[in-house]
Structure 1
């Protein structure tokens, strides 16, 4: 099949998967807000924050390295698989050991149970994550979509059953465990059937991958703190109820970009890698990618900003009416986050994860200042601080990353980001 046809097919399947996953997540939260307290969502925000850090170190950047490298032997795949599996076990042990300190830091004893329980997902991930990456590398998004959709539906069903029967926050935890277990077991079975797995390990097989991965995992870890530092600070300075309300507001504004961007970015990452030695083609395709993302996201977030009170009322109920102002402010923040999201695809495609690492260090030095200053003015102040931070990073991001990797001028980049291509909107509507 020609590359163009593979990309089209990949976009269609990813679109279907992303829509189903997004809708099921919205339904899950909408139903659970009727049965769970705000503090339950606050606890899950803290659990998710800790788990996210573990998962970044777990991957070691190998996913990006596998997508970047074009010729990988079966022995290399085997060595990468086993080193990743050992990392899974180590990360779970580390998670288990640090849990009491996390629970004490936030003064939330229930975290002693929740974190090790949901941490089982680390072990499940080691089972099937590499086989999923191989499917993505070969643009086999039809298989990925079917597996992910099935897992999401099973998770949704279990969460509703448990919530109705009074399981509280554990309804969220057990449903996430089921989703991870199901999808990774299926990826493992398919991987064994299609690619096989050798009982082979040689450290030299992994060195080139780890060289790319070390910058990637370093950059992603720092970026994870940049994008989730709000949860860390709010969890410490405010109550679990306030964190829960903020978490729901953030989930709401994150949902569109989680629905829209993966449809394009998942296919774009391996596709851009094909043009890593042709800067003109790389520039043209990257600017087109940004324009598509901006043209879809900007109208969506303008709509969310305008209709925030009604959206919150419909999705979460009257108990959460007070978070609509947070939704409005975060909508502006999400426009910049959505546009910056494909930078990860660009650095992976060009193999310049070192630049991304340096950039995220720079952002980490400034981001906490905006957020901490915002705490002086309450939860709304924190939200405004995050938004101002993303606005201030726009020009430096172009200069240090976009221009260096593609030679796109500031005007070209600005037009690609913010000049909405209404033809794209028309084609989507059609």
Structure 2
């Protein structure tokens, strides 16, 4: 793909990806917000633990298959797509059978009544996810984000309507189960209707080796990332029980929504873009730094701001009975600021054919997490969240090291890309500390609104002083992306 054509495709893909992430995450968060007011913490915790099976399957099995397809860049390979589909379908079927057979044993072992029933129902959604991995990768590889955005938005809306209706009617945990099933079913129908690829009854051993060889490192990395992302939920669920897991999930869910809205929208197109630019290292290095800088300029102040307003945020949106989730959200928001830019380091390693590097890094993170959480859980949920964040910052240089090895740039270049947003966010945080101290005693709504307005104003002023080029880049991207979306709609 030529430079101008690739640029147009990237702008279009990013614009649609941003629209999808904002729309979908807003719908999901609003649905979660309403349902959380009608179900208790124990029910929420049980579903959170059951959903870990699907996340495990996605991160360890399906992500490797998807990455092996997307990493081909713009190249199309029908035999590879067919083979990958049958591999993922077989894996999904095996998981479905295993879940049905082992659900009761898992419930007894975890000592959470009702967990087995939830696992069985959600196994259907996991199987559908296996059927969807290849068409989704096909569209992503082609940078066709519009049908993916349509699919996610409509399925999330339908799932939200189903979940809220059942929650209000008093169906409890089944409201959460039905919501996830509705999203999976509707999303599958729309995805297959939008994707022209149709699997044939063909299976190539050579292509299977390609998929499995590439995917093995991604899968091992996914296993480590799974524990990185979910070891806190697992430890709290086993050590503190379902109610504590539900409270922790509320605090973490707020972070997840913000992270997906602010970071994943941009990172979704990173792997295919990096894959297409890997033959031109100087151009790739420039693109990498610009996208990291642009992401940080949006996400860093947002996550720092969430940490500052966590008390008002939880109180106003979820109610006083979830107040304990505010401390969890505060610490995890600071982790989110780092996670938002760290995603690109992993995408770069995959694009450059170094998935094993990410495997080693993820393994180190997972080991440190498990050991840290084992000791931190004794001091409660907030201690686990604080340990999670502290580990991320201490070990983050390990994630940057492959970037400076694979690309013609240095540590100073990487820091230079982040410096304006980091400096502006720190100035904003210091200002808001004094600002909120002066307004102590204000009601939650005035305190939240005044903090957001004042923080945004201070951040933009400081960013304009220390990072003017970032502001200009953001303006040009927003204008170009808006025009592109208008022309394709």
Match of 1:279 in 2: 281
What is the distance in 2 between the residues matched to 1:381 and 1:105? 26
Q: 1:407 Cα deviation (Å)?
A: 4.5
What is the distance in 2 between the residues matched to 1:313 and 1:218? 39
Superposed CA deviations along residues 183-214 of structure 1, whole A, max 9, x for unmatched, are 112222333xx233321112112212221111
Match for residue 143 of structure 2 among 128, 131, 139: 139
Secondary structure (helix, strand or coil) at the match of 2:112 reads coil
What is the distance in 2 between the residues matched to 1:3 and 1:91? 38
**1:171 and 2:172 are equivalent in the alignment:** no
Change (3 A) 1:170 1:276: same
Match of 1:323 in 2: 325
Q: 1:238 Cα deviation (Å)?
A: 0.3
Match of 1:148 in 2: 152
Match of 1:413 in 2: 414
Q: Is the 8 A contact 1:127 1:188 kept in 2?
A: no
**1:73 and 2:74 are equivalent in the alignment:** no
Superposed CA deviations along residues 94-121 of structure 1, whole A, max 9, x for unmatched, are 2233323321232012011000111101
TM (normalized to structure 2)? 0.83
Moved more, 196-205 or 155-164: 196-205
**1:36 and 2:35 are equivalent in the alignment:** no
What is the distance in 1 between the residues matched to 2:419 and 2:354? 26
What is the distance in 2 between the residues matched to 1:98 and 1:407? 50
Q: Is the 8 A contact 2:274 2:351 kept in 1?
A: yes
Q: 1:126 Cα deviation (Å)?
A: 2.8
What is the distance in 2 between the residues matched to 1:211 and 1:409? 31
Q: 1:246 Cα deviation (Å)?
A: 0.7
Secondary structure (helix, strand or coil) at the match of 1:167 reads coil
Superposed CA deviations along residues 276-323 of structure 1, whole A, max 9, x for unmatched, are 122222222112121112111111012111211111112101211232
Q: 1:408 Cα deviation (Å)?
A: 3.0
Q: 1:418 Cα deviation (Å)?
A: 4.2
Q: 1:87 Cα deviation (Å)?
A: 1.3
Match for residue 110 of structure 1 among 93, 109, 114: 114
Match of 1:180 in 2: 184
Q: Is the 8 A contact 1:290 1:417 kept in 2?
A: yes
Change (3 A) 1:304 1:57: closer
Superposed CA deviations along residues 220-244 of structure 1, whole A, max 9, x for unmatched, are 1111111210011000110211111
| Consecutive aligned runs of 4 or more in structure 1 exceeding 3 Å deviation | 421-426
**1:16 and 2:19 are equivalent in the alignment:** yes
Change (3 A) 1:143 1:36: same
Superposed CA deviations along residues 54-110 of structure 1, whole A, max 9, x for unmatched, are 233441611101111143422222122112211111121222333233212320120
Q: Is the 8 A contact 2:59 2:225 kept in 1?
A: no
What is the distance in 2 between the residues matched to 1:299 and 1:368? 29
What is the distance in 2 between the residues matched to 1:107 and 1:300? 38
Match of 1:130 in 2: 134
Match of 1:218 in 2: 220
Q: Is the 8 A contact 2:264 2:340 kept in 1?
A: no
Change (3 A) 1:418 1:181: farther
Q: Is the radius of gyration larger for structure 1 or structure 2?
A: 2
What is the distance in 1 between the residues matched to 2:299 and 2:305? 10
Q: Is the 8 A contact 1:219 1:357 kept in 2?
A: yes
Match for residue 93 of structure 2 among 89, 93, 99: 89
What is the distance in 2 between the residues matched to 1:333 and 1:27? 23
Q: Is the 8 A contact 2:88 2:133 kept in 1?
A: no
The alignment of Structure 1 onto Structure 2 pairs a total of residues equal to 427
For the aligned residues, what is the CA RMSD? 1.9
Q: Is the 8 A contact 1:88 1:126 kept in 2?
A: yes
What is the distance in 1 between the residues matched to 2:180 and 2:171? 14
**1:403 and 2:407 are equivalent in the alignment:** no
**1:98 and 2:102 are equivalent in the alignment:** yes
Q: Which runs of 5+ in 1 are unaligned?
A: none
What is the distance in 1 between the residues matched to 2:159 and 2:349? 33
Q: Is the 8 A contact 2:61 2:219 kept in 1?
A: no
Q: Is the 8 A contact 2:51 2:122 kept in 1?
A: no
Match for residue 350 of structure 2 among 348, 351, 374: 348
Change (3 A) 1:76 1:253: closer
Match of 1:359 in 2: 361
What is the distance in 2 between the residues matched to 1:3 and 1:184? 29
Superposed CA deviations along residues 149-199 of structure 1, whole A, max 9, x for unmatched, are 1101101111111111111011111111111111112222333xx233321
Q: Is the 8 A contact 1:99 1:111 kept in 2?
A: yes
Q: Is the 8 A contact 2:103 2:120 kept in 1?
A: yes
